[in-house]
Amino acid sequence: MERKPVVLILTSSEERGGAAENLAEAIRADGAYNVVILDEKRYGVKVPFERLRPALFAADRRRLLRSGAASAGRLLKKRKGRPRGRNRRVANAVKRYAPEYVLTVTPYAQAAFVEAKRRAGFEVPSVHTVLAFVLPEEDYPAYAADVYLVENTEVRDSLVARGIPAKHVVICGLPFDAPRVTPIEAEEGKQELGLPRTPIVFVNADGRDAVEIAGLVADQGDIVNMVCFAEDVKLLAALRTNAERSDPGRNAVILTRRDMFGEYLLMSDIVITRYDPSVIYKCFKAGKPVIAFGRNAEEAANLEYLAERRLIMRAASDIDVVALIYKFMQTDVSSEYVENGLARAEMFSSSNTANYLAAYAGGKNA
């Protein structure tokens, strides 16, 4: 039996929304390729103790991205000598799986691939997915990829301004899919989940923001009900205490299982989220109005881009959330944002991206 060609996907712990697995599933469904996914635990810096992994990963990421200040051409110059450590592990993965191309879904993964390629001298091409609505300001080795998958024309234009040929940039949305949920389907879904008919606000936040926002939503009484997601034990306890103190009898659902996140998200009426491109894009697909907030300059740039196009409402502070909820409870306002989001994402899907990648690999081998 003839062995299918392989696509190697490199990811890392900074990935959000299961982008690597979403793309892998779509590529496998096409039937022409096998897919192998490796995260930095398999190819990255080795750590003596698991508790040290986040700090060592962060340090290695900073070093790799700083090295990307050089031009793409300079980065790809080969060095003599055997690659070591992470470079050797990436090179060994390429040698073992002999992929048609390497698909990277985080800046760290692309940076690690570029450095290993430069040091080991292999010739496998790479495809890099930019999982953002605005191209990051920092220079990093992602700009040494052969093909770029981006969400919009503005990111494409930013790459072209940095010297990337336009023909190497493909606008294909983001690899996060969700079904369109009609109002009738939402009502039926609420009934199945035991949620009330009054508006449901889904809160996706962490730390102090989650506690503050959940408290503000709970203070609205019976006007809205709430679903919060919390994996952290301390956050879970704080959210439960907050909800019970506000009104023990009201319906506040605190989710602790990641596999229930999507189901409750789709049945909610309004979504409040920290900047997370996967959650925001799924809301576009599903037809959910979004209130979003961010913490740093890069997140602010993405949120400003989306807010200017009336795709989301941006909360500058926690207290802003309440006023924005009431704005979205006006049918005409909510409808405008929902329609904008649906129009933004309707032409894109992970399967379409997989079809492009199959054509790219076929053309590369022609």
Percent of the chain's residues with pLDDT above 70: 89
Computed on alpha carbons and rounded to an integer, the radius of gyration of the chain in Å comes to 22
Q: Where are the beta strands (DSSP E) in 187-309?
A: 200-204, 225-229, 252-255, 270-274, 290-293
The average pLDDT across 58-78 equals: 61
Give the sign of the dihedral formed by CA 141, CA 147, CA 278, CA 45: negative
pLDDT band at 144 (very low <50, low <70, confident <90, very high): confident
pLDDT higher than 80, residue 232: no
Question: Who wins on pLDDT, 328 or 231?
Answer: 328
- Which class for 28: exposed (0-12), middle (13-18), buried (19 or more C-beta within 10 A)? middle
Q: List the one residue out of 183, 191, 205 whose CA is nearest residue 291.
A: 205
Angle (CA) 74 116 104, round 5°:
95
Question: Who wins on pLDDT, 212 or 307?
Answer: 307
Q: Which amino acid makes up residue 175?
A: P
pLDDT at residue 255, as a whole number: 85
The average pLDDT across 112-132 equals: 93
pLDDT at residue 247, as a whole number: 56
Q: Which residues touch 360 (CB under 8 Å, ≥6 apart)?
A: 101, 127, 147
pLDDT at residue 71, as a whole number: 39
* CA pair distance 224, 201, nearest whole angstrom: 7
Q: How many CA atoms lie within 13 A of 133 on its CB side?
A: 22
pLDDT higher than 60, residue 202: yes
pLDDT at residue 366, as a whole number: 46
pLDDT at residue 57, as a whole number: 83
pLDDT at residue 142, as a whole number: 66
Question: Who wins on pLDDT, 282 or 75?
Answer: 282
pLDDT at residue 46, as a whole number: 83
How does pLDDT run across 266-282, given as a tens digit for each residue?
Answer: 999 999 999 999 999 99
pTM recorded for the entire structure: 0.89
Quote the tokens at residue 102: 């390497």
The average pLDDT across 243-269 equals: 78
